[in-house]
Structure 1
Amino acid sequence: MIQRGYGHFGQLDEDAFRIFLQDLAADLAGQDDPGVEGDNEAFESDADLPEDGRADGDLEIEAARTAGIGYWTAYYRLLVWSYLWRQRPALAEAGLPILPFQPFADRDSSIAAISKRVAVRALGWVRPLPDEVAAPIMEAAVRMIGSPANDIIAIQRAYNEFRRSNSGTNAEQTQKRRAFLATFRFSTLPGESAPWRPPLSTVAPGGTVARAEALKATLELRELVNNVCDAAVIVLQSAAGQRIGEICGLEAGTDGQAGIPSCIEVRRSHSGLLDLFLLKGKLYKTRSAPVDAEWLIGSRPVGTDFLPPPVRAVEVLVELFRPWRDLAADERASRSLIVTSRANGLPWKPGTVNTVTNLNLLDGQKRFVERHVDLSRLPDRNPREEDLARYRRSRGRCIRTHQWRATFALYVNRIDNRLVPALAQQFHHLSLAMTEGYVGSDPTLLGDFDSSLMQRTVDFFLQATRENPPALAGRFAEIIERYRPEIAAVVGGRTGTDARVAVEEWVVEHDLRIWFAAHGKCFMGFNPKEARCHEVAGTTSWRNQKPNYAARETSICAGCSCFAVDGEHGDYWETRYRANQGAWLAAVNQGDTRGYRAVRARAEQAAAMLRALGREFPHVEVAGAA
């Protein structure tokens, strides 16, 4: 009410309620609240739902399960409106304005139903991590699960053996353990001149100082164990697109193929050229009970011993928590890939280790980023106008684990946009390996992919409404320019979240979708019959909603009336110009340009794009030139 300028309850009409729902969805998508992450995955039956959420059949229950992030947070915030409606008589008796409408009048508008819709919308607003944020985090995580992880596993194993084999008074044992930890020297990584971190503690005199140093060292070791776990989880999420709850449900074991953890199965691809690594676990979302599932998490050429980072991450987690599982409080924890303990330092007593939760892993990721990734030099915004300041100010603590799924969806689209049709069906493919292997049983990944496309489409049209929009090239740029005032009218005088909501509603209402590629943007949904790729392939039809990837290539797109390029694609066209202009000049230098007509045409085409974008032409080196 304060934010929107409402002075009393009598002003909270149906329009105010609609605005509240928009603000709530935007808040859920962006808030840094660990209570929201994965809060729907614990539903086992309708008994777990509030009374308002129960209904005949399973529709409301399933809606709650599949709502994505924020169901319970939305539910309890919406309860305030229910209380205001119930307290009308008391408010009126006190002479105060009352709520002018009933907010939850029927089943379709129950608190449970509206909470589900708000949560689904919030899920659609969860943005992929900007490249400037995702790349350094992934780099730090992959680094941590290499030699540093080996060090932590080794020192933990040695420490436990040392503790079992030593006798004496508590003070003597403390002094020995402190001295032992101080002697461990961490590895020096390739290309570096010093160990990746200093020793855990320094040898100090006896007494209380020695005990404090020993405690500090074991706490540091526990923190390093946590950091390795956090890094492994980041690698799994960023490279396999798993939900955090599905990672919590993975089980350990080492009786797999050729030393591979038993939760990973190695299969030969259909071509016989690749070994495919499939992670086996349980799917919880969209199911009334957990079902077996599998995800492709990497591949390698047959006959090689390379381990893809996600496979290495699982291997690290198996060994990292091996001594912990022996202390598990129950059978489930003894089988879990990742476990936790409330003990200070390393767990030592039986019954002190339990299964990990979504919130444990969410908090761990935030701690890892804060301590191991430097985001302090990020600008306020990147060239794509994504907000980087929030990541810099919070030191990464604003990151949500679900953002990795959206980031993964966007990455797959970028790495090989020809896979979009496959992604739109089941989101089981990543480059060549994913087209040859079966990724798993996760149909809701489709929502993350669709969400990333929609949000990038919204981003594009938001930029088009600015006073000085980014430069556009290509034939469709003329149409965008012609209708820019109409697009701006959608936003009107709105700013921030209100502007974004308006554009998103416009995009959804008109089913507008942009297909993104490295070389440009395809707007074929605006005029399907004009798509050159379908014309070349003989598949022209007004029903086409996506490009023909078998026929599409850069030169065809550049001459298509559905195609446009902006600054995001400048590097691609610069590289294309440099390669083709260099080849053409080399042919000229050799005095033989026969067969180079297409090369020259591609260079001229790239030059035209660069001129339209206002980019400077790169200097082209010609081998053998005088």
Structure 2
Amino acid sequence: MQAQPHLLAKELRQDTKVSSCSYWRDPKWHLDVQKVGFRDGAGTLNWEIDMGDGSTLLDAPWVELLEACRVLVYSLVHDPLMMGAHQPFTVANRFNTQLRKLLRWMAEFGYDNFSQLDSEASWEFYEHVLNGHRKAKAEVTPQSLQNDLQVLATIHRHSLALHDAGVRVMPEAPYDGEAPGKVADKAATAANGWIPPLPDEVALKILSACFRWIGQPMDDVLALIALQRSVVPSSRSGATGRPMETALASFVFSILPGETEPWHASLNASSDYAFAMASRELRTLVLHAGAACSALVQGTTGMRISELAALRGGTDAETGLPRCVRIRPSKTGLNELFMVQSQVTKIHDGTLMEWVIGMRPAGSAYIPPAVRAIQRLDALFSPWRDATTAPQLILNPGGKSALTSATGIGPTLYQISKNMKSFVATYCGLETLPDFLKTPTGSLDLRGYKTGEGFRSHQWRKTYALYVLRTDSRMLPAISQHFKHMAMAMTEQGYIGNDPELLDSIDSVRRQRTVAFLLQQASGTTVIAGGMADLVREHRQRLRDVVGDAEGADAYLRMEEWVVQGDVRIWFAEHGKCFMSLTPGSARCHSIAKTDPWLMRQPNYANRNASVCGGCKCFAVDGEHVEFWKERYQRNSAVLAAAGADRSAGYKVAQERVRQSESILRTLGEPVNEMEADE
């Protein structure tokens, strides 16, 4: 029996026929279509696919990918071992359209073969497809979305045929093993995307670990790199051998404040120096250090991984800041904004654009976490950048296993994501999380996160949007301060940069939090304080009616539909929740400023603060905000205690704040008398 062409050696395939009139090597395949009423070219598949960068799939950079696609198409039509063979007409038309979209996305985001398309990558593709559909039409149908998502599932399903033909295959099922139809159903139901933020329990552990790494651990890694380069001159391509291994293995890592042991064990020197174990470990440390900085930048700015990869390296001699970062005064002149420049490939075709990544009071020496992480990335990869013309901030150091002093190249998005996932699994302590976590909207499955595999870098965008809306009392103070600055820059001063999709993400997260809060009110008896508390309690039965007998995801979808249809919006702040969308005319922040709440349709941020909101009929506080009011009570109680006989205006302000805080805390059931004033 003659072997199928795709199972022959690659060089032998070229002269074999794929149809009655086409050969494997042909730039166009004319498949044998047996359909009446269609034009003669209905079965034509043109391999000269535009890859979006001026090249086509027939050009030299895409040789491996072209061969993989040819094997895939032939397998779809002819392989007798594969179930559910496709009709040539379907392959040449519908599947060809799906494949072209996938290939252009792969080229744009740095993927050049199927083996790089893991589940993480599939969710990146999902978001890319979903955004494309939403730009093209207001309503996204499950079927139209499934048609585009199906291509990855098809490629994975044909892994056996691809492997037998010598093609590198997808390492795992796309979409975490979910069927494209189910993924499409969930996405099409949501108004602005289904991908959730990282759970707080996951995000806070990762951000804390990243912030820890940009301190002394990064200093140790930089010292090891300097040691490695001092032992082996930069002109050598290799960095192995007895002197190198001995030097690296003798390095003693630092003991961090509050700890008793070095933060990392000594590097291992192999008895067989050909293995260069210490050099291998150093290379891993460099990649993990880069991943920690990358995750911190994404998590505190909302940058996409493609925008992170496009950042340029180098330091501005005048400002001492990375060349990709600029400082500008705010509109009021009271603050300074840190602006970063990068190429935005996803929605602006590679245009160099900028947006805010931090803010500080004018004249302050404070450096935002994202800027500090970029500084560390610049220092980390500068030895390889200095030896090459590659301008990227993030580089992939030379050497496949052991670290060498050879020049580096810009990593692919897949490599950055892979390194980030490895860092999360190794250093972030997610294995200590429970398997499941009870939430107001159901049970949250954390098992995937515990191994690091459930972490996806693109979730940082929604996570950032969440923390701009509200901080978490468990955050490191430096991270919490940064998010408060960003919230002020983006909401109070109107700075968002050139990225309208980031506003969409913030609106999406606001809606998700609105739905979660209302579900909590429908299903429980949560205590609420504030002017809006009575109205919320009165409408609990209406909220229960919306949900009916639905549970879990079904209950969420019903409540979300009700929120979208009624345009119900809640604005979240550290001190409470604003319901001015229900009664705009009652918004105290607008009445003080004499602005029109019906026209602005959001709080007047210039006048919104705890004192103003506390006396507003649109305001509500629940258990989420207890820590803010405790701290406010203690701080102002300390002011009263220190005032003595002084009864100035400052005393009266503190007195009113204590009264307001005490009232809210008592309503929420907090034991106010047991709180001690701050010294």
* TM score, norm. by length of structure 1: 0.70
Q: In the alignment, which of 133, 136, 142 is matched to residue 211 of structure 2?
A: 142
Q: Does the 8 Å contact 1:473/1:565 carry over to 2?
A: yes
Structure-2 residue corresponding to 1:531: 587
**What's the Cα RMSD here?**
4.5
Give the stretch that moved more between structures: 241-250 or 545-554. 545-554
> How far does residue 569 in structure 1 lie from its aligned partner after superposition?
1.8
Q: Secondary structure at the match of 2:292?
A: helix
Q: In structure 2, how many angstroms separate the alpha carbons of the residues matched to 1:523 and 1:272?
A: 31
- Give the drift of 1:194: 4.0
Contact 2:300–2:370 at 8 Å: present in 1 too? yes
* Maintained 8 Å contact 1:326/1:350: no
Residue correspondence of structure 1 range 432-511 to structure 2 within 5 A: 440-466=497-523, 468-511=524-567
Separation in 2 of the partners of 1:560 and 1:255? 48
Map of 1:226 onto structure 2: 287
* 1:76-115 matches, cutoff 5 A: 76-77=149-150
Cα deviations by residue, 1:473-517 (Å, 9 ceiling, x for unpaired): 233222222222221122122112111111111111111001112
Indicate conservation of the 8 Å contact 2:597/2:603, yes or no. no
Aligned residue among 584, 590, 615 for 2:670: 615
Question: Which amino acid counterpart does residue 280 of structure 2 have in structure 1?
Answer: L
Native 8 Å contact 1:277 1:297 kept in 2: yes
Cα distance in 1 for partners of 2:572, 2:588 equals 16
Deviation per CA, 1:149-199: give whole Å up to 9, x if none. Answer: 2322332243245334899xx9x9633332222122233434544432222
Pairing 1:364–2:424 present: no
SS in 1 for 2:352: strand
Deviation at 1:388, TM superposition (A): 6.0
Instruction: Tell me if 1:252 matches 2:252.
Output: no
Aligned to 1:339, the other structure's residue is in SS state coil
CA distance in structure 2 between the aligned counterparts of 1:34 and 1:451, rounded to whole angstroms: 21
**Aligned mates of 1:229, 1:594 — CA distance in 2:** 52
- Judge which range, 337-346 or 356-365, deviates more: 337-346
Which range is displaced more, 590-599 or 532-541? 590-599
Letter in 2 for 1:568: E
Structure 2 Cα separation of the partners of residues 394 and 433 of structure 1: 34
The aligned residue for residue 211 of structure 1 is 274
**Aligned residue for 1:261?**
322
The sequence identity of aligned pairs, in percent, is 37
Distance 1:306 1:545, change over 3 A: closer
Q: By how many angstroms is 1:431 displaced? A: 5.3
Segment of structure 1 superposing worse, 432-441 or 562-571: 432-441
Find out whether 1:321 has 2:381 as its counterpart.
Answer: yes
Match of residue 201 from structure 1: 268
CA displacement at 1:61 relative to structure 2: 11
Q: CA deviation at 1:471?
A: 1.4
Q: Do the aligned partners of residues 296 and 506 (structure 1) sit closer, same or farther apart at CA in structure 2, a change above 3 Å counting? A: same
Taking a change above 3 Å as real, the CA distance of residues 77 and 534 of structure 1, as seen in their structure-2 partners, is same
1:28-43 aligned at under 5 Å gives the runs 33-39=119-125
Q: Which amino acid aligns with 2:209?
A: A
C-alpha spacing 1:572/1:557, structure 2 compared with 1 (3 Å): same
Q: Give the residue type in structure 1 aligned to 2:150.
A: R
CA distance in 2, matches of 1:534, 1:395: 48
Pair 394,491 (structure 1): closer, same or farther in 2 beyond 3 Å: same
After superposition, residues 119-198 of structure 1 pair within 5 angstroms as: 121=190, 124-164=193-233, 174-198=241-265
The runs of 5 or more residues in structure 1 that have no matched partner are: 1-31, 44-52, 82-110, 417-426
Amino acid at match of 2:528: L
Q: Distance in 2 between matches of 1:79 and 1:141?
A: 32
CA contact (8 A) 1:525 1:544 kept: no
Partner Cα distance (2:552, 2:185) in 1: 24
Alignment-mate amino acid for residue 425 of structure 2: E
Structure 1 residue 560: Cα displacement: 3.0
Q: C-alpha distance in 2, partners of 1:622/1:218?
A: 54
Does the 8 Å CA contact 2:397/2:404 hold for their aligned counterparts?
Answer: no
Check the 8 A contact 1:409/1:452 in 2, yes or no. yes
- Amino acid in the other structure paired with 1:135: L
Deviation, structure 1 residue 525: 0.9
Contact kept in structure 2, 1:475 and 1:559, CA below 8 Å: yes
Alpha-carbon displacement from aligned partner over 1:294-323 (angstroms, at most 9, x marks no partner): 233335566666543322322222232334
AA in 1 matched with 2:264: R
Q: In 1, Cα distance between the equivalents of 2:676 and 2:354?
A: 49
Please tell me whether the aligned partners of residues 441 and 552 of structure 2 are also in contact (alpha carbons under 8 angstroms).
no
List per-residue Cα deviations over 1:10-55 (Å, max 9, x = no partner).
xxxxxxxxxxxxxxxxxxxxxx921224327999xxxxxxxxx9xx
Q: CA deviation at 1:575?
A: 3.1
Give the SS at the match of 1:198: coil
> Is the CA contact (8 Å cut-off) linking 2:316 and 2:323 kept in structure 1?
yes
On the 8 A contact 1:383/1:568 being kept in 2, the answer is no
Deviation at 1:609? 2.3
Give the Cα separation in 1 of the matches to 2:262 and 2:654. Answer: 51
Higher relative contact order (CA closer than 8 Å, sequence separation 6+): 1
**C-alpha displacement at 1:279, in angstroms?**
1.9
Q: Is the 8 A contact 2:431 2:450 kept in 1?
A: no
CA distance in 1, matches of 2:532, 2:496: 37
Q: Per the alignment, in what secondary structure is the counterpart of residue 470 of structure 2?
A: helix
**Is the counterpart of residue 310 in structure 1 residue 377 in structure 2?**
no
Residue 558 of structure 1: aligned partner: 614
- Amino acid in the other structure paired with 1:199: S
Q: Contact 2:240 / 2:273 at 8 angstroms: preserved in 1?
A: no
Structure 1 letter corresponding to 2:674? H
The residue identity in structure 1 corresponding to 2:499 is: D
- Secondary structure, in 3 states, of the residue corresponding to 2:342? strand
1:383-422 CA distance string (max 9 Å, x none) = 8778665168624432222222222223233369xxxxxx
Contact 1:163 1:177 in 2 (8 A): yes
Q: For residues 473 and 326 of structure 1, what CA distance do their matches in structure 2 show?
A: 59
Given that residues 634 and 675 in structure 2 are in contact (C-alpha distance below 8 angstroms), is that contact kept between their aligned partners in structure 1? yes
Deviation at 1:611, TM superposition (A): 2.9
**CA positional deviation for 1:370:** 1.6
Question: Contact 1:38/1:244 (CA < 8 Å) preserved in 2?
Answer: no
**Pair 147,73 (structure 1): closer, same or farther in 2 beyond 3 Å:** farther
Q: Which amino acid aligns with 1:246?
A: E
